[in-house]
Amino acid sequence: MNRFVKQFVLKVSRSFGYEIVPLRDMRERDFALHLRELLTRLEVDCVLDVGANVGQYHDFLRNRVQYEGKIVSFEPVSHHLGLLRERAQKDPDWHIEDCALGAQEEQKEINVMVSDQFSSFLEPDYQRVAEYNDMNVLKAKETVTVRRLDVVMPALQERLGFQRPYLKLDTQGFDIEVLRGATGILPAVRALQTEASVLGIYKGMPSYMDTLRHLDGLGFDITGMYTVNRDAALRLVEFD
């Protein structure tokens, strides 16, 4: 469909309170609507996109959530960085930071996998979800910079002028480490999104119960749980 015709049809349908959703996008619809309401209610003025890969979450925010504010994407893998910087030239409110986040400031090796969405500081575990095994195979290792968010965020706030951030985490088993490096700024974070693991695909990966206990200890409440993926038997692998 012509892009302008599509935009017109969507605009008209929304004016009547209807949303036209392609079948391929139905799985994300509820989460997009929930996140749109959450970001609006909390008056979020910047999304911190930790583990950006090649910008899929940016696209989700802009196209599905209809969020128009600032986005800061953190990504350490060199190949992804080049793609992100090229894409960000078309969006003046999209800012790219070339580092990972963690519990301490350091240089650390990251495993770059055959399917790059599986890249992680952790080693793959092939025991639980067999259908991911061919994708979660080591292709290369890179030494990357790891920063603490409570060191990085004040400088970002001074440069970009935001006050009410939303924190999105998708670091393939490293989310709790990111939170441990964010203790100084978490009171300023209006809400966060993390990926919780039911069937671990990395060695030493925190379980979903570990994640829920950690978030509870930090004083966060749950507003929703949304499936990320399932295995061939329809067992839940991860949820946001």
pLDDT tens by residue, the chain, 240 residues: 566 777 777 777 778 877 776 655 667 899 999 999 999 999 999 999 999 999 999 999 999 999 999 999 999 999 999 999 999 999 999 999 999 999 999 999 999 988 888 899 989 888 888 888 888 888 899 999 999 999 999 999 999 999 999 999 999 999 999 999 999 999 999 999 999 999 999 899 999 999 999 999 999 999 999 999 999 999 999 999
DSSP H helical ranges for the chain: 3-15, 26-41, 56-59, 78-88, 149-160, 175-180, 208-217
List the chain domain ranges.
22-239
pLDDT of residue 233: 92
- In CATH terms, 22-239 corresponds, of 3.40.190.10, 3.40.462.10, 3.40.50.150, 2.10.240.10, to 3.40.50.150
pLDDT of residue 131: 86
Q: Report the predicted TM-score, pTM, of the whole model to 2 decimal places.
A: 0.89
Residue with tokens 């069937």: 199
pLDDT of residue 7: 76
Report the distance separating Cα 171 and Cα 118, nearest Å: 9
Structure tokens at 141: 């290792």
pLDDT of residue 1: 53
128 CB-near residues (< 8 Å, 6+ apart): 199, 200, 201
